[in-house]
Chains A and B, each alone.
Chain A
Amino acid sequence: MTSVLEARDIRKSFAGIVALRDLDVTVEAGERVALIGPNGAGKTTFFNCVLGVLRPDRGTVRLNGEDVSDLRVHERARRGIGRTFQRIELFAESSVREHLLIAEQTRRGSGGLWKDLLGRGRPSSEEVAMCDAVLELLGLGDLAEEPIEHLSLGKGRLVEVGRALMTQPRLLLLDEPSSGLDREETADLARTLRVAQDDQGFAILLVEHDVELVASFTERAYVLDFGCMIAQGPTNDVLRSDIVRQAYFGDVEPRR
């Protein structure tokens, strides 16, 4: 069976400084994988290379076996990558439901100028129902009509997740989903993601600083430091390894 994501030999440098050094990352279908590392390790840069926001200097990105290295962001998104952002990126002037509707209509290709002009640009009841189902799943059902500007950061993150889910991704890239959330909200988010994953069967690649979340949520982990892959393997083993603790926590005293 082919992997959902197969990134080979990804190298990226900015003005001579190597941000990613020949990374290999593989994510299998339905897996939950963490990508961790100290600030500036290159995690978000790697995400951007996978999604096509940045072009790596060399290396290939394969999605479900297909080489997407030369495709643009929206083309890769249509091949099954969903993403949330470290600094949330929402659409001003749109309601919560509209965020999901835009994604849903884009996925179906159901919009279009001529339909708009004929008065059929409004979303179908089926599309609305799909969006509302996801909103319910995320616990945003009551907020569907709210303008996005009225939402808290935590709810905004959930909207981002919902928007990404509407594209029915095979792979969901989550960029620090817990930043700005309190413990309870983080736990809620993890629970919701599990439910959605059971439902849709996508794989998750998670960039996260919250070690608790990483430990409880992911099965495997990759550890980056200064653009180099310094460790990989089952999450709990990785978190315990000395080299990781040194890079990440700055201490080598074995704990417990």
Chain B
Amino acid sequence: MKKLIKGNDAIAMAAIEAGCRFYYGYPITPQNDIPEYLAREFPKIGGTFLQAESEIGAINMVLGSAASGKRAMISSSGPGISLMQEGISYMSGSEIPAVIVNIQRSGPGLGGISPSQGDYFQATRGGGHGDYRTPVFAPASVQEMYDLTFLAFDVADQYRTPVVILADAMLGQMKEPLDTRHPPQRELPPKTWALTGCAGRKPQLLKSLYLGHRELEKHCWHLWEKYQKIIANEVRFEEVLIQDADLVVVAFGSAARISKTAVKDARKDGLKVGLFRPISLWPYPEKRLEEIAKSAKAFLVVELNTGQMLEDVRMSVGKDKPVHFYGRPPGADSLPMPVEILDQIREVYP
């Protein structure tokens, strides 16, 4: 049976069902449904909901609970996610897993509260200081908001890393029918690294400071090796009508939803157009895109920004095939209609 539910609520629900019992946050539009859901539900099941004094405080509370070996989550939107970058960098360096949800609003600065994909660089390039990456999953439906939350917790625990769910105001605020069957859960390594007091074992330490001779270099290569495993195992994408496509639209999240309608309309007009939708934004599905570039004649990248994922598409596709771009930076009434993307498809169709 399916439930009609809001995207933000689907994430909160999935977090509880995935065994998360610690949530720390700070109010910001358009993600408040998540803390409000958990503030209501956690007390009933012995979970901890705490509204922190700032996103900086909140992410460090997540760090503390996660360092204790517990599943912990935080959610926010652009400005709040910016404040968390210090904590995310420390968690990456100390290898402390947690799930960070960004229901994107528009920036830069205070920007606005409309859907945006302006935080692509921030999410996929590490975001904070130092040499690290975080896995990033981009849902495009309420169902995926739910399913990818389970996945995010598993990937976080498997690789001991913070994981980002990158959605936006549209996905967070809209309602869709949700199938609440749980996706298969992974067998995960025990959290022997957790700080739980040293009874029966030697004292343990979680840190990111390495001052000894070549210690930090070794640590950074250790993280790199872990990232290579993530690149090898965690790439995810969706393909729609790619097989015979001459033009491939590349889009993620909300932009992909709108593009899908445009692609289907273009097919009705006899245009051979397909959609490639990266679900993991890091690791990026570059190999698959490289393969597609062998048969496709041209690409059209659609984003709700002025061109960020565009760089990854260009790097994957190479210089032999044209990569066109249709960007709609966010703001009131800036979300494109399918017909506007269809116009672009017609314009660049090879």
Q: Is B a genuine binding partner of A? A: no
Q: Footprint of B on A, CB under 8 Å?
A: none
Chain B interface residues (CB < 8 Å from chain A): none
